[in-house]
Amino acid sequence: MPFAFHNFYFVDKEHALSKENNKMSKKENIQSNERELFYGEKLGKMIRCETISSSFSQDLSKFYRFHEVLEQLFPNIHKTCEKYEFNGSLLFKWNGKGNGKPILFMSHQDVVEANGQWEHDPFGGEIIDGAVWGRGTVDTKGSLFCFLQAAEELIGKGYVPECDVYLASSCTEEIGGEGASLTVKWLQNHEVQLRFLMDEGGMIKEEPMKGVKGRFAMVGCLEKGYGDIRFTARGNGGHASVPQKQTPLTRLAAFMMDIENHNPFTAKMNPTVAEMFRRMAPCTQGPLGTVMKYERQLEPLLEKLLPKVNPLGAAMISTTLNFTMAKGADGLNVIPQEAYVTGNMRFIHHQGPKESLALVSKIAKKYEIEVEPLLIHEPCPVVNYKSKPFRLVEHVVRKMFPGVIVAPYAMTGGTDAKFYTPVCKNSIRFAPLEINEQQYQSIHGLNENININTLPKAVDFYKRIIRHMENWKE
């Protein structure tokens, strides 16, 4: 009987503990759900501020209205931090207690237009099916919210960072405007050199490249240079009723086809992409996985094959040129005396603007086409994946997102981080948000949205990065 009673008691106690654990689990789930919803509603309020940037308008009132909303949403930041405005762009300085180099988090507040037929109002900020819908949720008010919320909560608990922490948000990123450069000018004037910064770029995504299975945190370490180029052809012009050969338009067409059919740029593996492939190799099946695994031995083959099988991968190891705009005659029956096309170039480090433009100009000369650079940015300094800032991000990702593989990668697009080269040698391009393929495709497209359950971890990610400065040794 004693044994039977003891056994019964044990089972009963175990049952009670199980019930208690279930209650705790349910309570935690409720708290977690409440946090997700709370964050989603705050982000929704940011989305409802229409902050489309335009090269054709100098009206900044929409951004100042957005700043008023931020002041309501993040009162601790506005009470504690120094605030600076540069024609609609924002910079907060959160003073630390130590003398170490500061860090900076940045995400732009401006968005692109929301054309087309959306499932939900692109500026409604509604929470539907567990996601906040609207332009800017992914690009990039989502990450802006997360690091602002991280600072807001830490300040609310009385936390003082070890070093100064800057929070920056440009209102001109989408149009390549002056927002970031004005911020950098202020930092230079105050002799600020950053330990590292974190901007938009990579995120956490399933199958980041075709054939690569698994969840990856893609951490941007390499950003290519940028160029806008005008290609102009001239001729005698005339009435379209009288046929002519070698008109400005036909020469431009021949030039563009020549570029497309005979790529003048050299593909060359770089350490960032090579390391990305090595980390992806165990998750990649078939011939591509084998090539990734033995990248060092098969590098020449990979350099030749990649441009043919994977456009994204090819763009990571080569300069690219894509034609974007064109203009000819103003009349439908007029052969133009002058016509032009514009091209957008992204310069890889081993073949920068000077060499790449020389190669293009040589081809243009065959067709009597003038080459005029409109805007040129050199490639940004590469962040070594063995560097302390990268390893810190890698460490925190592994702690926060179990099972996620961290991989450095070469960004094919551009960010505001390129303006920060004078004040920062380590610009990490990564936002700790988990997105799916549809959400990735929605960037600058239709039905942009982000799941609210990714927001708490992203907020906590930024908190951990800030707290890790307590143990940072230069």
Q: What is the mean pLDDT of residues 117-121?
A: 97
Give me the domain span that covers residue 335. Answer: 225-377
Q: Provide the pLDDT confidence category of residue 2 given band limits of 50, 70 and 90.
A: very low
Is 187 in the same domain as 238? Answer: no
Is 91 in the same domain as 175? Answer: yes
Strands (DSSP E) found in 386-474: 405-411, 427-435, 449-451
The interaxial angle of helices 2-47 and 61-73, nearest 10 deg, is 160
Tell me the chain's radius of gyration from C-alpha atoms: 26
Is 33 a member of any domain?
A: no
Is 465 in the same domain as 334? Answer: no
pLDDT tens, position by position, 280-325: 999 988 777 777 777 777 788 778 777 766 778 889 999 999 999 9
pLDDT at residue 15 in the model = 53
pLDDT tens, position by position, 23-72: 545 555 657 799 999 999 999 999 999 999 998 888 999 999 999 999 99
HEC profile of 222-287: EECEEEEEEEEEECCCEECCCCCCCCHHHHHHHHHHHHHHCCCCCCCCCHHHHHHHHHHHHHECHH
Is 340 a member of any domain?
A: yes
Is 34 a member of any domain?
A: no
Is 256 in the same domain as 342? Answer: yes
pLDDT at residue 11 above 70? no
**Count of domains in the chain?**
2
Percent of the chain with pLDDT over 90: 81
Is 178 in the same domain as 255? Answer: no
First to last CA, the chain: 68
Is 196 in the same domain as 234? Answer: no
Q: Provide the pLDDT confidence category of residue 9 given band limits of 50, 70 and 90.
A: very low
pLDDT tens, position by position, 363-421: 999 999 999 999 999 999 999 999 999 999 999 999 999 999 999 999 988 999 999 99
pLDDT at residue 202 in the model = 95
Is 193 in the same domain as 251? Answer: no
Lowest-pLDDT choice from 6-10, 41-45, 107-111: 6-10
Is 128 in the same domain as 257? Answer: no
pLDDT at residue 295 in the model = 76
Is 183 in the same domain as 71? Answer: yes
The CATH code of the domain that includes 59 is 3.40.630.10
pLDDT tens, position by position, 328-366: 999 999 999 999 999 999 999 999 999 999 999 999 999
Residue 66: closest CA among 108, 26, 32, 25: 108
pLDDT at residue 10 above 90? no
Is 14 a member of any domain?
A: no
Domain boundary among 377, 402, 434: 377
Pairing label, strands 82-86, 89-94:
antiparallel
pLDDT at residue 17 in the model = 46
pLDDT at residue 210 above 90? no
Is 52 in the same domain as 194? Answer: yes
Is 12 a member of any domain?
A: no
CA atoms within 13 A on the CB side of 82: 8
Is 285 in the same domain as 192? Answer: no
C-alpha–C-alpha distance, residues 45 and 49, integer Å: 7
Reduced to 3 states (helix: H, G, I; strand: E, B; else coil), residue 471 is: helix
Domain boundary among 322, 357, 377: 377
Give Cα separations from 468 to 161, 233, 391, 399, 461 (angstroms). Answer: 10, 57, 12, 13, 11
pLDDT at residue 29 in the model = 63
pLDDT at residue 211 in the model = 83
Q: What is the mean pLDDT of residues 274-279?
A: 92
Percent of the chain with pLDDT over 70: 93
Is 248 a member of any domain?
A: yes
- What mean pLDDT is reported for the chain? 92
Q: What is the mean pLDDT of residues 430-454?
A: 97
pLDDT at residue 4 in the model = 38
Structure tokens at 69: 């909303």
pLDDT tens, position by position, 16-27: 545 555 554 555
Is 444 a member of any domain?
A: yes
C-beta of residue 331 within 8 angstroms of C-beta of residue 213: no
Is 369 in the same domain as 299? Answer: yes
pLDDT at residue 293 in the model = 77
Is 4 a member of any domain?
A: no
Structure tokens at 41: 């509603």
C-alpha–C-alpha distance, residues 162 and 432, integer Å: 22
The CATH code of the domain that includes 306 is 3.30.70.360
Q: What is the mean pLDDT of residues 149-154?
A: 98
C-alpha–C-alpha distance, residues 224 and 101, integer Å: 26
Residue 374: closest CA among 205, 168, 232, 200: 232
Of 173-177, 344-348, 470-474, the range with the highest mean pLDDT is 344-348
